[in-house]
Amino acid sequence: MTMTEQDPEVRQAVRALEDGSSSVRLRAAMAAGTAPDARLVDTLVERCAVEPEFFVRDMLTWALIRHPVTLTLPRVLRELRSERPQARSQALHTLSKIGDRQAWPEITRGHLTDTDDEVARAAWRTAALLVPDGEEAALAGVLGTQLGRGGTDTQLSLSRALIELGDVILPVLRAAATDSDPGVRAHALATERILADPETGFAQAIEEAKRVVALAGAPRGGD
C-alpha cells in the first residue's frame, strides 16, 4: 500500500486536485502550494499534463515551485520526454519558474522545434532564460530556424526569446532577412526592429516589415 493510499489527508488532497469542478481544483492547487507536502509532488506533476484550465495549471506550477527543487526538478524533467504535448509544454513552463540551470541540458533541439506550438513556445522562453553564458549564439541559430512560424502569438513568443539573447542574434536575423520565404524575412526584420527599439510594438513592427518585404519583392538570389 502506498503512502498516498494510507494517508486520508493526502487522499483528500488528490481527490480535490482531480475534482470535476475547476474552482475546487484551483483551491486544491493553492492549498498544495500554501502547505507544501512532498507526497503530493507526483500528483501535481501528473495533473499539469491533463488539467484543461490554464489558470489551474498555473496554480499547479506555483504549487510545485513551493516545494524543494531537489524533489520537483527530477520529476518535472521526466515530463519533457512525455508523448503528451501538454505534459511537455507545462514541464517547460514549470522549469522556467524553477529557474535552475541544471535543466538546460534537457532542453533539446526537439523541444525548440516541436511541431506543437505550445511546446515550442514554452521551450523558447525557457531556453532563453536558462541558456548558459557562451551558448547564446548556438541557441539563436536554432531559434532562427523557426522564424516565420505560426500566427502572431507564436511569432511574438519567438521574437521575445530571441531578443532576450541580445545582439548575438543579429547575424541570424540578417541571414533570415534574405530567406526565400517572405514570412521569414518579415519576421526577421520585425524582430531586428524591436531589438533596436524595444518601445516598438510587435504588431506595428511586423506590419511595417511585411510592407517592406512586399515592396522589395523576392531577395536577390531567391527562387
- The pTM score is 0.90
The answer to whether residue 210 is domain-embedded is: yes
CA 92 distance to own-chain centroid: 6
Does residue 38 lie in a domain region? no
Does 175 map to a domain? yes
Domain membership of residue 178 (yes or no) is yes
Cα 79 to Cα 95: distance, rounded to the nearest angstrom: 11
How many whole angstroms separate alpha carbon 147 and alpha carbon 53?
29
Instruction: Give the residue from 15, 11, 9, 57 showing the smallest Cα distance to 35.
Output: 9
Tell me, yes or no, whether 19 lies in a domain. Answer: no
Q: Distance (Å, rounded) from C-alpha 165 to C-alpha 142? A: 12
Q: Say if 119 falls within a structural domain.
A: no
Query: Which residue range(s) make up the domain with 156?
Result: 136-216
Q: What is the pLDDT along the chain (223 residues), one digit of tens a residue?
A: 344 455 888 999 999 999 999 999 999 999 999 999 999 999 999 999 999 999 999 999 999 999 999 999 999 999 999 999 999 999 999 999 999 999 999 999 999 999 999 999 999 999 999 999 999 999 999 999 999 999 999 999 999 999 999 999 999 999 999 999 999 999 999 999 999 999 989 999 999 999 999 988 755 544 4
Please indicate, yes or no, if residue 147 is contained in any of the structural domains: yes
Helix axes 85-98, 54-65, angle to 10 degrees: 50
Residue with cell 493553492: 30
Class of residue 152 by CB neighbours under 10 A (exposed 0-12, middle 13-18, buried 19+): exposed
Domains contained in the chain, number: 1
